[in-house]
Chains A and B, each alone.
Chain A
C-alpha cells in the first residue's frame, strides 16, 4: 500500500544520503522523494512516497527515526492531509487542433501554459499524483509528449497538527 512519510531532519552534509542509503540497504521502496530546507535553514523537510505492508512500514518508520540526524518522522497517509506534486510537461503543439486541445485540457485540469515555442507548449500542473497521472494520460490521447518532469509529492497534515521541532 502506498504511504506518504514526512520527515524533519538536521540540514547537515550527508543527511540525505543516510536516508537514501538506508532505503537501498534494507531494500525499502522509494516511489518519490523530495527534499528542501525549511524556513529554519538548519532543518530539512523530506517527503517520501513509499510502498510496503504494515510490517515493512513499521520498520521504515523506526529505521528512519533511528538515524541520528532525524528529528521526527510521521506517516501522514491515514490522517487528513494535503498532498501536492508539480508537473512540467512539454507537448507537441503544431496544428491549430492540437493547440486548442492542449489549451482546453489544461484549463479543465486547472493547469497553465507557462511557455510557448514554435512547435511546443510547456504546461504546468499541480495536484495530487493521481490527478497528474490523469492529465498525462489525457494529453497523450491528443498530442505527443516531448518531455515531462515531476517533482515527487510533498505533503502536510490538515488542521492544527504540525511537524516541527
Chain B
C-alpha cells in the first residue's frame, strides 16, 4: 500500500481543516499562489477576499471577538505581510487569538533582498505572542497546530507562521500527519489560582468596607460573564468595567456603575478612588484607566487576578496577586466564600451604596440637547433603542468610540468590538464584517467617524461580494473629533490638521459600491431614518449622520490628576 503524499500547500489547508477552521481572510500574491490553488480545490474552508491585507487581520479579529474562534489570515510575502502589521499589533494589544500565515520567498533566496522579500517574523517580533519560520514540509503541520494552541491558550494573542515558497510548490511532497493535542515543555500557562492566595483574597474581600470590582477584557476572553455576575451578586458589590470589559456584566445591571477611566463615569472613578479593596479581574491597570499612577487609589488594598504574571505589579503594585484563568479563579472565590459562610454585611453595604448613589446622582453622562444640531450621544441612544440593545457594535477609534462605549449599555460579552489597547483607526468596518460573517441574522453595526471610515473604506467592496449587510453609522463632524477635542482643551484651540476638507458624498460612495446610503442632517429625522436603516435586512446601509462638530466627550479625567479628578462638562470640574 502506498501512502498518500501531499504538497506543503495542501498540508496548510489540511492542517487548518483539522483545526476546524471555517474561514480564511486573505489576499493572494506570488509566494502563496500554491496555497490559493489548494484552497480552490477543496470546499471545507471558505476564503474571504478582502481589498487590503490590514482589513483581513481586522476582519479575522472581529470574527474572533464575536465568536471566540481563532481567526486565520493569509497574506503573501513582502507588502502583503507588512500590511498585516497594524492588525497584528491591534490583536496583540487586546489579547485576541489570531494565526497569520505569511508567505515568504523561496528558502534559497531568503536574505538576498529578493522580490517581495521582507523579514516578516523580524518585523512582527515585538507584537506577536510567538512566531514560526517553517523550513521544511514536516514543519508545516507542527507549526500550525502549535500556532493555534499558543494563540488560544494562556493570555491569547497573535502568532505568525512564515511559509517559504519552496516548501509549498507541487514538486515537493510528503506524508501528512498532524497532532492537534499540543504539549510544550517551555509553555504551560497557569490555570488555577494558588489556594493560599485565594484564601487571602477572600478574607480581604469579606472584610472590605468599600469594595469595588474592576473587570476587564479577561472576562470577555474567558466567556465568564455568568460567573462574574454571580460573584457580583454574592458580594452585592459595585462593579465597573474597562473599555475592553464592557458586556462582562450587563450594562443595565443595578450593580454596574459604568465604565471607568479617562472617559468613564464619575461614580466609577469616585468609587475606585475611595475604595478600601479593589478586586481587579482580568484587567491590567492601563494608563487610560489609572490616570496618574502616583495618585492612584492610595487607600486601597489591591487584589489582582490575571493570567499574565507580567501584568501584575507592572503599573500598579498588587497587594494580593492571583495568577491564573479568571473564570477558574472566580469559581475558587465563590467556593471559598461558601466555605467561610460569607454573608454580606448589609449595614456596611448600605453606607457604601448611599455614597455611590450620591455620585451617581450627578449624572455625569448627561448632555445638553438643544437646538436643531444632532448630538452624537443622541445617535447612539437612538441606535440602542432601535436595536433593543442586542446588536453587535464594532467601533472605530475616536470620539464616536467613546460615545458608543458610554451610551450603548451592552447586555452580553462579545457584543462590543473595539480596538482598545492599540486604538487602531480603520478597525471598525472590517471588524464589523467579521462579526456579520459569523452572525448573519443579527444586527451588526459599525460605529465610525468621517476620519476612521476612510482608513479602510475600500472594504465596502468586500461587503458586496460576500453579502455582509452591516449597518454603518458614521458620526460625521467634518473633523478628527478626538484630536480636535485635545487641541481645544490642551493646545489653545489651534486645530492643526484636524479638519477634514474635501469629504466625499458618503451616500453616493456607498451607492457606487452597490449599497444603500442614508443621510441624516436634521434632528427631527434622526429616529425615523435610523429605523429605516435598520429595517433594510439584505443590503448594507451607510448612514451618514451630521452631528454637532463642537461636541466633546465627557466626563474626562484631568491629565496628571488622580483617577477621580474629572471634567464633567466643558469647564466644569467634578
Interface residues of A (CB under 8 A from B): 9-10, 13-14, 17-18, 21-22, 25, 55, 58-59, 62-63, 65-66, 68-71, 165
Contact = CB atoms under 8 A, between A and B. Distances in A.
B186 A21 contact: no
A68 B310 contact: no
Nearest to A65: B309
B313 A21 contact: no
Contact of A14 (B133, B187, B313, B314): B133
Given A59-B310, A63-B310, A66-B309, A13 B133 contact: yes
Given A71-B185, A71-B186, A165-B185, A17 B122 contact: yes
B150 interface: yes
Nearest to B187: A68
A83 B226 CA distance: 53
Contacts of B122: 17
B504 interface: no
A42 to B, nearest CB: 10
Interface stretch (B70-78, B123-131, B431-439): B123-131
B27 to A, nearest CB: 26
Contacts of B125: 14, 17-18, 21
A14 B310 CA distance: 22
A10 B214 CA distance: 37
* Best-surrounded residue of B150, B185, B186, B310 (most CB of chain A within 10 A): B186
A14 B121 contact: yes
Contacts of B121: 14
Interface string B395-433: 000000000000000000000000000000000000000
Given A13-B133, A18-B125, A21-B126, A58 B186 contact: no
Given A13-B133, A62-B309, A68-B129, 20 more contacts: A9-B186, A14-B121, A14-B125, A17-B122, A21-B125, A21-B126, A25-B126, A55-B313, A58-B313, A59-B310, A66-B308, A66-B309, A66-B310, A68-B150, A68-B184, A68-B186, A68-B187, A69-B186, A71-B185, A71-B186
A115 B121 CA distance: 43
Contacts of B184: 68
Given A17-B125, A55-B313, A68 B133 contact: no
A58 B317 CA distance: 12
A62 to B, nearest CB: 4
A69 B159 CA distance: 13
A63 B187 CA distance: 13
A70 B185 CA distance: 9
Interface centre among A14, A17, A59, A68, by most B CB within 10 Å? A68
Interface string B503-527: 0000000000000000000000000
Nearest to A24: B126
A125 to B, nearest CB: 36
Between B185, B310, B313, the greatest number of chain A beta carbons within 10 A of the residue's beta carbon is seen for: B310
A82 B150 CA distance: 36
